[in-house]
């Protein structure tokens, strides 16, 4: 999958319509670098730009003094009025590593790293934007986006020089003491998260827009019908419809024209950008794969055959798969004695937990009151989750290369490759990522509705439980994931959100 930039589409950066401003005079602009490759599109006139609102309630913290001094010396500028937001949901919401608005600099979660040279380059990049805004050099484009590659390149260069402690060469231009806090937003984007970019399949047969919620997908002519055959075969509630608008994609040597594709929800008779889908990842994926009763699929560590899990929940699927690998590996004559000792320790601990689960199951069968049964169910779930975590302790103690070998043997994580009409689930695992303790999810699901001709890139239809999961809404999202290139898989993309613990597991799933 490659990341290409659309040059003339109006874009929406907000993930939550509640943060859209109603005051058009406060519409914000985002400046970003221009990719040398372009997509020329014929878009529906209904695709409109959506503004970002100013957030006056965010908590700002001071820049570390040593970095402030380093930046001030590089830019020959006083940055004492600049405030830093180090865990900005707003930056994350429109796919920016960081952005500067006036004297406020926002960093997406995990992106503020003043102790590293790369982190200082990003800080310097944003401080260059502060200077540019003080100089009054950032203007609004037609769709409230300033695509001035000169300013962005200047900020890139200044960031690198500032990180090295060298003069940035842009602070000498006459500037105001401070920048307008309600002025333009200048964001730092990278290819795989740039909000107004497209993810393009390597074979150019599919592309989707990046950003949430994204309703824009284009496929090669006839591919919607191919997807529909696979979706219908599993009883999917989703049908794709090929539309007349087209888009031209290129890899620099060849071009291909794709057709816009819109979804239809057969379960509620809604369609297009106004389609409603369950505001819950599991239920929405169930619509795609044909049922909310689903099983995991993995590769047998012995024969290589595809095995379906007995478990239907993500955590239990995760435990069942690792249990199979541990028992298989323990039984191999080629497994070293030291490895067998470690594996046996895990399996013995699991045996103890299984005994507790057996007692709870027996207690449930004899319980007479709803409250007693509810308590037993809760205890059983907690004990079963504990069992899963114990099963993964051996794996978690291995090196990354050893873990990758197991992943490949089992066809999990970045090696999980579902077909159209199947899907992914990510089961959270391990301790929460520091700083995300209150934000960690139990799991995430996504159903595959399309794929590239070479099957190396998958398009999912996803929704999230960001409100009441018992309702349907229009915040569903088309997303594209690679299956062969590092960093592009469903597993890596969702693991990088830090919302699924320190050792999550991605599993291919299908209708039971």
Q: Nearest 5°: phi and psi at 457? A: -130, 135
Work out whether strand 206-209 and strand 185-188 pair parallel, antiparallel, or are unpaired. unpaired
- Measuring CA to CA, how many Å separate 111 from each of 86, 157, 206, 300? 8, 19, 30, 39
Q: Is 494 in contact with 446 (CB distance < 8 Å)?
A: no
Q: For all residues of the chain together, what is the average pLDDT? A: 82
Work out whether strand 277-278 and strand 472-473 pair parallel, antiparallel, or are unpaired. antiparallel
Task: Find the mean pLDDT for residues 2-12.
Answer: 32
- Indicate the length of the chain as a whole number: 512
Per-residue pLDDT tens digits for 437-451: 888 899 999 999 999
Work out whether strand 238-250 and strand 217-219 pair parallel, antiparallel, or are unpaired. unpaired
The answer to whether residue 95 scores a pLDDT higher than 80 is no
Q: Is 500 in contact with 429 (CB distance < 8 Å)?
A: yes
DSSP string, 162-193: HHTT---S-TTS---SS--TTS-EEEE--GGG
The answer to whether residue 37 scores a pLDDT higher than 60 is no
The answer to whether residue 29 scores a pLDDT higher than 70 is no
Per-residue pLDDT tens digits for 162-201: 999 999 878 655 565 666 555 556 655 443 333 347 899 9
The answer to whether residue 9 scores a pLDDT higher than 70 is no
- Measuring CA to CA, how many Å separate 305 from each of 308, 325, 407, 415? 10, 13, 15, 15
- Four-residue CA torsion sign, 125, 199, 499, 324: negative
Cα dihedral 282, 288, 292, 294, rounded to 10, equals -100
Task: Find the mean pLDDT for residues 421-425.
Answer: 98
State residue 234's pLDDT score. Answer: 98
Residue given tokens 């000169």 in the structure block? 150
Of the pLDDT bands very low, low, confident and very high (cuts 50, 70, 90), residue 46 is very low
Of the pLDDT bands very low, low, confident and very high (cuts 50, 70, 90), residue 1 is low
State residue 323's pLDDT score. Answer: 96
Task: Find the mean pLDDT for residues 454-471.
Answer: 90
- Three-state DSSP class for residue 134: helix
The answer to whether residue 135 scores a pLDDT higher than 50 is yes
The answer to whether residue 21 scores a pLDDT higher than 90 is no
Task: Find the mean pLDDT for residues 431-440.
Answer: 88
Cβ partners under 8 Å of residue 442, min gap 6: 314, 315, 427, 428
State residue 173's pLDDT score. Answer: 55
Q: Nearest 5°: phi and psi at 299? A: -95, 130
- Four-residue CA torsion sign, 184, 185, 191, 196: negative
Task: Find the mean pLDDT for residues 196-222.
Answer: 89
Q: How far apart are CA 207 and CA 260, in angstroms?
A: 9
The answer to whether residue 59 scores a pLDDT higher than 70 is no
The answer to whether residue 373 scores a pLDDT higher than 50 is yes
398 CB-side CA count, 13 A: 16
pTM of the full predicted structure?
0.64
Cβ partners under 8 Å of residue 341, min gap 6: none
Q: How far apart are CA 432 and CA 76, in angstroms?
A: 41
Question: 243 versus 174: which is more confidently predicted?
Answer: 243
Query: pLDDT above 70 covers what percent of the chain?
Result: 80
- Among 51-60, 125-134, 336-345, the range scoring the smallest mean pLDDT is 51-60
């Amino acid at each position: 999958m490659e990341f290409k930039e659309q040059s003339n589409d109006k874009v929406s950066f907000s993930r939550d319509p509640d943060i859209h401003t109603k005051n058009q005079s406060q519409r914000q602009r985002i400046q970003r670098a221009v990719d040398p490759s372009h997509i020329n599109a014929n878009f529906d006139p209904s695709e409109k730009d959506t503004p970002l609102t100013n957030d006056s309630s965010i908590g700002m913290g001071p820049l570390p003094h040593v970095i402030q001094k380093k930046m001030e010396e590089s830019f020959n500028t006083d940055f004492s009025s600049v405030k830093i937001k180090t865990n900005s949901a707003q930056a994350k919401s429109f796919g920016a590593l960081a952005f500067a608005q006036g004297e406020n600099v926002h960093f997406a979660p995990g992106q503020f790293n003043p102790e590293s040279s790369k982190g200082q380059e990003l800080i310097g990049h944003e401080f260059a934007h502060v200077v540019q805004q003080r100089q009054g050099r950032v203007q609004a484009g037609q769709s409230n986006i300033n695509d001035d590659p000169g300013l962005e390149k200047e900020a890139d260069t200044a960031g690198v020089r500032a990180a090295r402690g060298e003069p940035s060469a842009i602070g000498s231009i006459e500037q105001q003491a401070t920048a307008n806090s309600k002025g333009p937003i200048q964001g730092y984007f990278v290819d795989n998260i740039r909000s107004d970019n497209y993810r393009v399949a390597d074979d150019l047969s599919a592309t989707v827009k990046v950003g949430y919620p994204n309703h824009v997908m284009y496929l090669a002519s006839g591919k919607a019908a191919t997807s529909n055959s696979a979706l219908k075969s599993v009883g999917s509630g989703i049908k794709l419809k090929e539309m007349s608008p087209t888009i031209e994609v290129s890899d620099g040597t060849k071009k291909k024209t794709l057709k816009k594709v819109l979804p239809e929800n057969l379960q509620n008779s809604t369609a297009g950008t106004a389609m409603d889908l369950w505001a819950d990842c599991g239920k929405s994926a169930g619509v795609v794969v044909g049922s909310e009763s689903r099983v995991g699929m993995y590769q047998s560590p012995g024969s290589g055959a595809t095995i379906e899990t007995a478990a239907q929940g993500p955590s239990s699927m995760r435990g069942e798969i690792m249990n199979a690998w541990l028992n298989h590996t323990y039984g191999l004559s080629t497994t070293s004695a030291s490895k067998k000792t470690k594996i046996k320790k895990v399996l013995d601990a699991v045996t103890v937990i299984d005994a507790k689960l057996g007692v709870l199951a027996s207690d449930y069968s004899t319980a007479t009151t709803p409250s007693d049964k509810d308590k037993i169910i809760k205890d059983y779930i907690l004990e079963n989750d504990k069992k899963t975590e114990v099963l993964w302790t051996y794996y978690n103690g291995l090196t990354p290369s050893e873990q990758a070998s197991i992943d490949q043997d089992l066809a999990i994580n970045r090696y999980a490759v579902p077909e159209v009409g199947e899907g992914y689930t990510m089961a959270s695992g391990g301790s929460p990522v520091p700083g995300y303790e209150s934000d960690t999810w139990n799991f995430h699901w996504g159903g595959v509705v399309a794929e590239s001709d070479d099957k190396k890139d998958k398009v999912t239809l996803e929704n999230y439980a960001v409100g009441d999961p018992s309702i349907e809404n229009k915040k569903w999202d088309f997303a594209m994931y690679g299956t062969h290139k590092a960093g592009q898989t469903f597993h890596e993309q969702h693991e990088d959100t830090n919302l699924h613990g320190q050792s999550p597991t991605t599993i291919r799933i299908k209708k039971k």
